[in-house]
Amino acid sequence: MKLHGIKVQHKKNTADLAPARLSDVSEVCIPMSMHIGKPAKIIVKRGDSVKLGQVIGERDGFLSVPVHASVSGTVSKVEDITMSTGQRVPAVFIKSDGLNEVYEGIAPPEVNDYRSFVEAIEQSGVVGLGGAGFPTFVKINVKDLDKIEEVVINAAECEPYITSDTRTMIDKPDYVFKAIEAGKKYMGVKRFIIGIEDNKKEAIKIMKKYAEKTDGVEVKVLPSIYPQGGEKVLVYNTTGKVIPKGGLPLDVGVIVVNVTTLAFCAEYMETGMPLIEKCVTVDGSAVNEPANVIAPIGAPIENLFEACGGLKREPAKILYGGPMMGIAVPSTDTPVLKMTNAVIAMDEKEAAPPKTTPCINCGNCLRHCPFKLDPKGIMHAYNIDDAEALEALHVDLCMECGCCSYVCPAKRPLVQTNKLAKIKLREYLNSKKEEGTK
């Protein structure tokens, strides 16, 4: 099996820039939904005083994690906000007192076995920090540990611009490997594979240096082909295993964890400070001085731009994440989230949508799709409202990486259509299921 992809411009402008810490944030807006699953339940009210690391939202359901105060100060309001996805979620606004007083209950967790290890990761509030937002404690809460053959550490960081994971490997390699040792001790996993693209020379050098002194760790240097960091792509390219349709890495004996998520877990076990801040790459054609910035969760992204010398041009589009799979944000008041690894501000020239022309049947989209899907066929089936054809074309396998749109010489909106087609297919399958129960 050969997995395909595309070559993109790396634009790793900030790879050599150590992150600077953001200061003077006057107010944060902390959503209760910064993870896949049910929002956390707010346990504070307007007027309450809170301190750094204090729980302000309790886990509320299996797929849920606690949320913590990222500054000390006073709760100014509790209200619903609209996320960049259009979802309405509850949020806590905290006016900072500028003191950053640490909550009295902060202490390293007591971890002495697998169950207490999982519980500690749950209490930390950590989710997939590469952008996915899946609760980490759920990922490692495995019924049969003997089924885990490898942990694949996702250090690919294949999107243009983003370098926050690269900085983790350069600045915090000790925490990466402390987490690996914890995984060995409490989960019994014997093999760890760090999958990293070959354009990260300094990070590769450091990871290999540490791996040489650690049993059971392999650094696998991979070609810089997007989307190398896609879960199914990475598992295949590091282990040779194929995750089945509708399956998870665990189905082939693998757990995949982002490298920054991993490092945070070790840091939390050492300090007890939950997830309250995030290293964010700030870049794009509208940014004056691109940089990596450590920001409190909930800080408005406007503060990130201020830390980078402001904007040199009016942004036409601002993204959470990279230009391939990033999500557009509505304003600079939008907060930094747990899974925000980058904020990209594009000027009018960079953000301008290309002119669309008729399909020339070149087949580029099919040749470059990592899963060999047929985007042209999917678009046709979607346009004629043929849900059965969408099912036969396996549109539900699409990871929305954008390779098809990127290589299309006619600039057809292929990935956008795939997203809509997946919704249409879900509606069709749900209606079939309902009919079957009548």
Q: Please write the tens of the pLDDT for every residue from 144-160.
A: 999 999 999 999 999 99
Q: Residue 208: what pLDDT?
A: 98
The token pair at 393 is 């074309």
pLDDT band at 25 (very low <50, low <70, confident <90, very high): very high
Greater model confidence, 268 or 61: 268
How far apart, in whole angstroms, are the C-alpha atoms of residue 310 and residue 332? 12
Q: Residue 435: what pLDDT?
A: 78
The pLDDT tens digits for 209-244 are: 999 999 999 999 999 999 999 999 999 999 999 999
Please give the backbone phi and psi of residue 217, each rounded to the nearest 5 degrees, phi first: -115, 130
| Rounded (10°) angle between helices 164-171 and 259-271 | 50
For residue 24, pLDDT beyond 60: yes
Average pLDDT rounded to a whole number, residues 335-354: 96
Q: Residue 438: what pLDDT?
A: 63
Q: Residue 246: what pLDDT?
A: 86
Residue type for position 148: I
How far apart, in whole angstroms, are the C-alpha atoms of residue 418 and residue 415? 5
How far apart, in whole angstroms, are the C-alpha atoms of residue 66 and residue 40? 6
Q: Residue 85: what pLDDT?
A: 86
CB 323 within 8 A of CB 344: yes
Q: Residue 320: what pLDDT?
A: 96
Average pLDDT rounded to a whole number, residues 115-137: 95
For residue 299, pLDDT beyond 80: yes
For residue 328, pLDDT beyond 80: yes
The pLDDT tens digits for 86-102 are: 899 999 999 999 999 99
The 3-state secondary structure of the chain reads CCCCCECCCCCCCCCCCCCEECCCCCEEEEECCCCCCCCCEECCCCCCEECECCEEEECCCCCCCCEECCCCEEEEEEEEEECCCCCEEEEEEEEECCCCCECCCCCCCCCCCHHHHHHHHHHHCCECCCCCCCEHHHHHCCCCHHHCCEEEEECCCCCCCCCHHHHHHHHCHHHHHHHHHHHHHHHCCCCEEEEEECCCHHHHHHHHHHHCCCCCEEEEEECCCECCCCHHHHHHHHHCCCCCCCCCHHHHCEEEEEHHHHHHHHHHHHHCCCCCEEEEEEECCCECCCEEEEEECCCEHHHHHHHCCCECCCCCEEEECCCCCCEECCCCCCECCCCCCEEEEECHHHHCCCCCCCCCCCCHHHHHCCCCCCHHHHHHHHHCCCHHHHHHCCHHHCCCCCHHHHHCCCCCCHHHHHHHHHHHHHHHHHHHHHHHCC
The token pair at 365 is 């989209």
Q: How far is CA 265 from the centre of its chain?
A: 16
pLDDT > 90 fraction of the chain, expressed in percent and rounded: 93
CB 240 within 8 A of CB 138: no
The pLDDT tens digits for 164-217 are: 999 999 999 999 999 999 999 999 999 999 999 999 999 999 999 999 999 999
Q: Residue 434: what pLDDT?
A: 81
How far apart, in whole angstroms, are the C-alpha atoms of residue 216 and residue 184? 9
| Rounded (10°) angle between helices 259-271 and 114-124 | 100
Average pLDDT rounded to a whole number, residues 132-136: 92
How far apart, in whole angstroms, are the C-alpha atoms of residue 327 and residue 85? 8
Q: Residue 310: what pLDDT?
A: 96
For residue 139, pLDDT beyond 60: yes
For residue 46, pLDDT beyond 60: yes
Q: Residue 3: what pLDDT?
A: 56
pLDDT band at 27 (very low <50, low <70, confident <90, very high): very high
Tell me the domain boundaries of the chain. Answer: 114-271, 364-433
* Third-level CATH fold of 114-271: Rossmann fold (3.40.50)
Query: What's the number of CA atoms in the CB half-sphere (13 Å) around residue 212?
Result: 6
pLDDT band at 2 (very low <50, low <70, confident <90, very high): low
Q: Residue 267: what pLDDT?
A: 98
For residue 23, pLDDT beyond 90: no
Average pLDDT rounded to a whole number, residues 325-346: 96
Q: Residue 415: what pLDDT?
A: 96
Phi-psi group of 289: left, alpha or beta (phi > 0 → left; psi -120 to 50 → alpha; rest → beta): beta
Q: Residue 81: what pLDDT?
A: 96
pLDDT > 70 fraction of the chain, expressed in percent and rounded: 99
Q: Residue 287: what pLDDT?
A: 98
For residue 258, pLDDT beyond 80: yes
